[in-house]
């Protein structure tokens, strides 16, 4: 984008090169095996991007939503599953601790998370509470030694590999009385449940976090008891912006693959790129992708400047994954039987992107948020 800083442009090139060498060559393998590219993840720490929004004092890059979205797009082109795990670590865990943790918590947890020595996850969704995140029922009860956590978290990205979990709990009867704890692997009463096998994002490990009277110290409470509803909603904005970046990367990868294929594949004695119908499909996909890019990065930049928040974050989260799914389906159609087969990456891209219409708030929830906020603005 024309408004990228010199640092953001350099980041884009570095991430593009990393993705082509460390993610793309093994994306199909990890998708097929449902395995985690742990080697690449550790190298992301060496690259200096696992704490992209964190303070340089702890080893972070000190950048914002625009830079984070650049990483999501470049990585998303190569392997959306690995990118989702990167988002869960850097945005859902590290960014939350950076913004909400105490100086002691940041000093204790961020350096190892940012270096890649530790992997992080976030526990919000539950078996009965997904879209209704504020309704979560995992409870933290005050004890003489700290707190006792009981409940189950579901659909947790990085669950099986996480050393640190940033966990939302209920600490009072009121609906909005939520509190957050940083829970370490090995905590008595805390274990990882069954792995969850998915249609897409198969290279991103997903599982349950189970708390059976898990004992945590008071020092692991983030902020004040009952304060976490604000933390949750604020972090959801940057999560929704950056997850849309993965969809943008998928859409661009589909366009690139279609252009390449149309110059190689022959039908009726000519390369299919010579046929106007194929040209129309490519032109429309490319145009839609550029529209997505302009919209997404303008919102990311405004977020960094503190200009706009939840409504536009929900808008990009609603529209960009929807458009990317359409583009992926169009790309499959252009490739015919090859597009439907696993010989080409398009079917994987379509499967991967569908998650982005569900995670971080479904399309339907985004519609509710957008409409509610617009109507409230009009009333006010």
Q: What residues act catalytically?
A: 239
Task: State how far the Cα of 83 lies from the Cα of 250, in Å rounded to an integer.
Answer: 11
Are 126 and 138 spatial neighbours (Cβ–Cβ below 8 Å)? yes
Are 201 and 355 spatial neighbours (Cβ–Cβ below 8 Å)? yes
Task: State how far the Cα of 78 lies from the Cα of 105, in Å rounded to an integer.
Answer: 34
Task: State how far the Cα of 46 lies from the Cα of 168, in Å rounded to an integer.
Answer: 30
Token code pair at residue 270: 């000519």
Task: State how far the Cα of 194 lies from the Cα of 51, in Å rounded to an integer.
Answer: 28
- Of 231, 210, 226, give the one whose Cα is nearest residue 97: 231
Task: State how far the Cα of 52 lies from the Cα of 2, in Å rounded to an integer.
Answer: 21
Task: State how far the Cα of 200 lies from the Cα of 257, in Å rounded to an integer.
Answer: 19
Task: State how far the Cα of 158 lies from the Cα of 260, in Å rounded to an integer.
Answer: 34
Task: State how far the Cα of 253 lies from the Cα of 99, in Å rounded to an integer.
Answer: 33
Question: Looking at residue 362, what DSSP letter applies?
Answer: -
How does DSSP assign 283-319, residue by residue?
A: HHHHHHHHHHHHHHHHHHHHHHHTS--HHHHHHHHHH
Q: What share of the chain is helix, strand, coil (3-state, %, to 5)?
A: 60, 15, 25
Token code pair at residue 48: 């200096």
Number of Cβ within 10 Å of residue 263's Cβ equals: 11
Number of Cβ within 10 Å of residue 25's Cβ equals: 12
Q: Is 243 exposed, middle or buried (0-12, 13-18, 19+ CB in 10 A)?
A: buried
């Amino acid at each position: 984008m024309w408004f990228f800083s010199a640092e953001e442009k350099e980041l884009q090139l570095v991430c593009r090169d990393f993705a082509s060498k460390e993610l793309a060559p093994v994306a199909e393998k990890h998708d097929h095996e449902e395995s985690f590219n742990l080697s690449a993840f550790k190298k992301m720490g060496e690259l200096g991007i696992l704490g992209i929004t964190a303070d340089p004092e702890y080893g972070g890059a000190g950048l914002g939503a625009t830079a984070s979205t650049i990483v999501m797009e470049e990585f998303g082109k190569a392997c959306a599953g690995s990118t989702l795990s990167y988002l869960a670590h850097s945005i859902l865990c590290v960014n939350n601790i950076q913004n909400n943790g105490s100086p002691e918590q940041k000093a204790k947890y961020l350096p190892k998370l940012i270096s890649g020595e530790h992997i992080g996850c976030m526990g919000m969704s539950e078996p009965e509470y997904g879209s209704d995140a504020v309704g979560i029922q995992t409870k933290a009860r005050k004890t003489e030694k700290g707190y006792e956590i009981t409940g189950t978290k579901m659909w947790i990205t990085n669950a099986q590999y996480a050393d640190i979990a940033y966990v939302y709990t209920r600490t009072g009867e009121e609906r909005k009385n939520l509190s957050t704890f940083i829970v370490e692997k090995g905590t008595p009463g805390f274990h990882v449940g069954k792995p969850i096998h998915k249609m897409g994002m198969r290279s991103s490990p997903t599982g349950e976090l189970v708390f059976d009277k898990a004992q945590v110290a008071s020092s692991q409470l983030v902020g004040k008891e009952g304060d976490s509803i604000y933390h949750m909603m604020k972090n959801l904005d940057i999560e929704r912006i950056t997850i849309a970046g993965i969809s943008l990367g998928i859409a661009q990868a589909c366009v690139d693959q279609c252009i390449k294929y149309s110059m190689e594949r022959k039908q009726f004695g000519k390369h299919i790129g010579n046929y106007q119908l194929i040209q129309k499909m490519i032109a429309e996909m490319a145009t839609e992708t550029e529209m997505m890019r302009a919209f997404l990065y303008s919102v990311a930049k405004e977020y960094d400047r503190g200009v706009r928040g939840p409504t536009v974050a929900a808008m990009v989260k609603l529209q960009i994954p929807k458009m990317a799914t359409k583009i992926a389906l169009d790309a499959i159609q252009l490739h015919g039987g090859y597009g439907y087969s696993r010989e080409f990456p398009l079917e994987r891209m379509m499967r991967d992107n569908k998650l982005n219409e569900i995670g971080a708030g479904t399309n339907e929830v985004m519609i509710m948020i957008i409409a509610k906020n617009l109507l409230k603005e009009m009333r006010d």
